[in-house]
C-alpha cells in the first residue's frame, strides 16, 4: 500500500480528507495534531507543555513530534497518511529516515492549496459550529491565534513544497473545491501513483 503526506496550511482540510481515505481505502491516518491533542488532555507534564505551545498557535518541538511518529511506525504496517506531519524540514528528513529503516518510502506528497481568506473563514465556522453544538471549541481556533498559525506555516512548513517538488513527489490539488471534489482529486492522484 502507498504512503502519502497530506500537506497544506492549517485548516486546509488535511484531517477531513485523511478520514475519508481511512474509510474508503483502509489506509492508516497518522495525525500529529490528534496525537498532540490527546497528549494535551492526558494531564501529564508533557501534555501541559504541549498545550501551552499549541494554544498559542506555535509548532510543538521537532523532538516531541518525531518521537510520536517514530512510536507509531514502530508498531508496523503500511499505507500511512501522514496528516499534519512533517511541518518542518527537520521533520521531513526524519520521516524519510524512519521509512527507509522500515524498507518503505513515500509514494506521493499531496498539497491542498487554499487561500488565506478561505482558511480563516473555515476556522471561524468550525469554532461557531462547535459552540452551537455544545462541544468544546479548540483553543487555537480563533482569528488571532490563527494568524500566528498561518505565520508559522509560511515560515516553517511552506518550504516543504520546494523540498518535495525537487524530489519529484509533490502533487497539488485545489483545496478550495467542495470536500467531495477535493476527495475525488486526491483519489485520481492515488490511482495514478
From the list 88, 72, 89, 90, the residue with the least C-alpha distance to 3 is 72
**115: number of Cβ within 10 Å:** 11
Cα torsion 72, 74, 75, 77 to 10°: value is 90
Residues 135-174 that bind ligand B4P (CB under 6 A): 140, 149
DSSP structure class, residue 134:
T
**Using CB under 6 A, which of 65, 106, 109, 173 touches ligand B4P?**
65
Q: Which stretch binds ligand B4P (CB under 6 A): 38-46, 53-61, 70-78, 101-109?
A: 53-61
Total site size for ligand B4P, rule CB under 6 A: 27
Cα angle: 95, vertex 53, 122; to 5 degrees = 80
By the 10 Å C-beta count (0-12 exposed, 13-18 middle, 19+ buried), 153 is classed as: buried
**Using CB under 6 A, which of 5, 27, 59, 94 touches ligand B4P?**
59
Mark whether 101 is an active-site residue. no
Candidates 20, 40, 122, 149; catalytic one: 149
Q: Is 56 annotated as a binding residue?
A: no
Chain residue whose CB lies nearest ligand B4P: 33
Pick 167 or 181: Cβ nearer ligand B4P: 181
Q: Is 58 annotated as a binding residue?
A: yes
Candidates 102, 125, 155, 188; catalytic one: 125
Residues 100-139 that bind ligand B4P (CB under 6 A): 122, 126
Binding of ligand B4P at residue 4 (CB under 6 A)? no
Cα torsion 152, 79, 18, 154 to 10°: value is 20
Whose cell is 475519508? That residue is 20
CA dist., res. 52 & res. 67, Å (int): 19
Instruction: List, by residue number, the catalytic residues.
Output: 14, 87, 125, 138, 149
Q: Report the interface residues with ligand B4P, using CB under 6 A.
A: 8, 10-16, 32-33, 36, 54, 57, 59-60, 65, 84-85, 87, 91, 122, 126, 140, 149, 178-179, 182
Amino acid at each position: 500500500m502507498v504512503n502519502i503526506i497530506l500537506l497544506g496550511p492549517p485548516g486546509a482540510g488535511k484531517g477531513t480528507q485523511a478520514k475519508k481515505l481511512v474509510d474508503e481505502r483502509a489506509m492508516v491516518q497518522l495525525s500529529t495534531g490528534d496525537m498532540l491533542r490527546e497528549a494535551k488532555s492526558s494531564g501529564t507534564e508533557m501534555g501541559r507543555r504541549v498545550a501551552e505551545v499549541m494554544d498559542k498557535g506555535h509548532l510543538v518541538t521537532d523532538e516531541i513530534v518525531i518521537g510520536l511518529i517514530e512510536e507509531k511506525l514502530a508498531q508496523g504496517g503500511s499505507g500511512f497518511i501522514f496528516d499534519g506531519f512533517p511541518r518542518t524540514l527537520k521533520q521531513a528528513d526524519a520521516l524519510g529516515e524512519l521509512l527507509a529503516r522500515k524498507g518503505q518510502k513515500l509514494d506521493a506528497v499531496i498539497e491542498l492549496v487554499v487561500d488565506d481568506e478561505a482558511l480563516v473563514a473555515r476556522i471561524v465556522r468550525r469554532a461557531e459550529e462547535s459552540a452551537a453544538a455544545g462541544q468544546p471549541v479548540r483553543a487555537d481556533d480563533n482569528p488571532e491565534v490563527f494568524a500566528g498559525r498561518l505565520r508559522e506555516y509560511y515560515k516553517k512548513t511552506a518550504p516543504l513544497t520546494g523540498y518535495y517538488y525537487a524530489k519529484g513527489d509533490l502533487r497539488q490539488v485545489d483545496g478550495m473545491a467542495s470536500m467531495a471534489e477535493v476527495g475525488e482529486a486526491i483519489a485520481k492522484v492515488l490511482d495514478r501513483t
